[in-house]
Structure 1
Amino acid sequence: MSSIQKSIENGVATLTFNRPEVFNSFNREMAFLLQDELDACNKDTQVIAIILTGSGKAFCAGQDLKEITDPELNPGFKKILEEHYNPIIEKIRAIEKPIIAAVNGVAAGAGANIALACDIVIAHEKVSFIQAFSKIGLVPDSAGTFFLPRLIGFGKASALMMLGDKISATEAEKMGMIYKVTTLDEFNNVVTTTATTLAQMPTKAIGLTKRLLNVSMTNNLEEQLALEGKLQIEASESEDFKEGVDAFVNKRRPVFKGK
């Protein structure tokens, strides 16, 4: 059984972490498979939106500690970061298609930070998020120190990373860490509806929006305004824009093609 399962339906690719016996923690094989599947989704014109989720009771518990404590299997932290997690985060942000983290269970360590790197995070009320690194004498990785302070503020992020507190999905939503928390019963329907909605939207513009958001982290105001202007012109020349305007004028539902 593959450690990453993939399905595609109605333009939505679902990538499922599939090592439930170890709470979907990453080993080297799973990290490379996820990268391969993200690349495939990026190239596949039939894939318009992507969902990342987990099988069993967890979303992802981060790194498989058995791998790094096994003298024969341990690739070392340099390879783990440079070949596993850093490329995963870079691909999530570089793919100009919306990526939803459907957090179905505990998200800890690198698992939590992979979720936070996605465009939209949805979790149900039983889920918890844990910056677990300090509990075992490590520092946060997988861009946690980049995204979390920007999501919830420096002070709150600092405390969560140093103390390793377990945060419920409800708390995470209140502090702006995630987009939405649902009931357990509503979770799958909300995720599917959100992904389907995104798959029917003008994905050319969504991809350009993602590009703008990525650089807004580091651009100054002048640089961001200039790039907004450049990409707005590009969006205005797209087929999707023409379709959107025509549908609005004629009071019909638009059919976007991502072009």
Structure 2
Amino acid sequence: MNAAVQLDVQDGVALMTLSRPETGNAVSQDVADGLLAAALVCESDDKVRSVLLTAQGTAFCVGGDVRAFAEAGDGMPTLVRSLTASLHMAVVRLARMDKPLVTAVNGAAAGAGLGLAVLGDIALAARSAKFTSAYGALGLTPDAGATWLLPRLVGLRQAQRLLLLNERIDAVEAERIGLITQVFEDDALAAEALERASRLAKAPRRAFGRTRGLLYAAMANGLETQLELEAQSIAEAAGSREGREGVAAFVSRRSADFGSI
């Protein structure tokens, strides 16, 4: 890891923290590279059973490091390509890993920060959090998966509103339109997010990994294709150690122990 993104694994939960609070956790090359390195660890480390992404300071992530863009001058396209190469690979790894992702949005989420904020399977926000695309004000276009995620989360009309009108919405509005899962008071967010990540860490990791994959696949598949994928997946799950443990626990009227599987 680098100093821009911290990673701490405790009791199955990987706490991934954006750690450039003095810049609003703006996405520099260091942040993009740090996100990728952390995502690769989370994806491959069997001790990690769920991931919690949050940030230090009063902002979650204000988007790209615009000062670095300006300083790059004519080299800005090369800088942006390098930055998005790491950032987008990190997004893909976090989306495709067989572990659920919780995001805890502790403040402003703009630009790439918006894409990261809503990437969570469970996306939680502090009441003070604000969400905006910000790209249009800079003459830029979206990244970090925003044009893929937003229409699927909130519909095309709301995505157009957010990305073209550049409206800033608060956490309550974000919850109302389905951009995030739930809002909490600022001082409760960290504990609530950790509780959910810890709960997910005790869940059947591989079954939830398959469920994540099915949900993403459903966005592109027809009904028959999706039903076939569901049939294959549940049959595989039924033959797995998780499936056998879950069924045995249900019949025995005890809590299933997925953590050691």
TM-score for both structures, normalised by structure 2: 0.94
Deviations 1:82-140 (A, max 9, x none): x1332122111111100111111111001111122222100011101111111111122
CA distance in 2, matches of 1:104, 1:254: 33
- Would you say 1:84 and 2:76 are equivalent positions? no
Deviations 1:172-213 (A, max 9, x none): 001111111111122122111101110111111100001111
> May I ask how many residue pairs the two structures share in their alignment?
258
User: 2:146 is matched with which residue: 129, 144, 147?
Assistant: 144
Task: Give the aligned residue type for 2:183.
Answer: V
The corresponding residue for 2:96 is 94
Question: Secondary structure in 1 aligned to 2:186?
Answer: coil
The corresponding residue for 2:243 is 241
Deviation at 1:18, TM superposition (A): 0.5
Q: After alignment, is 111-120 or 98-107 more displaced?
A: 111-120
CA distance in 2, matches of 1:113, 1:35: 15
CA distance in 2, matches of 1:2, 1:185: 25
Deviation at 1:79, TM superposition (A): 2.8
CA distance in 2, matches of 1:137, 1:79: 19
CA root-mean-square deviation:
1.5
Contact kept, 8 Å, 2:9 with 2:15, in 1: the verdict is yes
CA distance in 1, matches of 2:215, 2:11: 26
TM-score for both structures, normalised by structure 1: 0.95
- Would you say 1:66 and 2:67 are equivalent positions? yes
Task: Give the aligned residue type for 1:105.
Answer: G
**Structure 1 residues 56-205: aligned runs within 5 Å:** 56-71=57-72, 74=76, 75-81=78-84, 83-205=85-207
The corresponding residue for 1:49 is 50
CA distance in 1, matches of 2:160, 2:117: 18
TM superposition outliers: structure 1 runs of 4+ over 2 Å:
71-81
CA distance in 1, matches of 2:117, 2:236: 30
Deviation at 1:19, TM superposition (A): 0.5
Task: Give the unaligned 5+ runs of structure 1.
Answer: none
Question: Secondary structure in 2 aligned to 1:113?
Answer: helix
Deviations 1:143-199 (A, max 9, x none): 111111111111111011111111111110011111111111221221111011101
Task: Give the aligned residue type for 1:135.
Answer: A
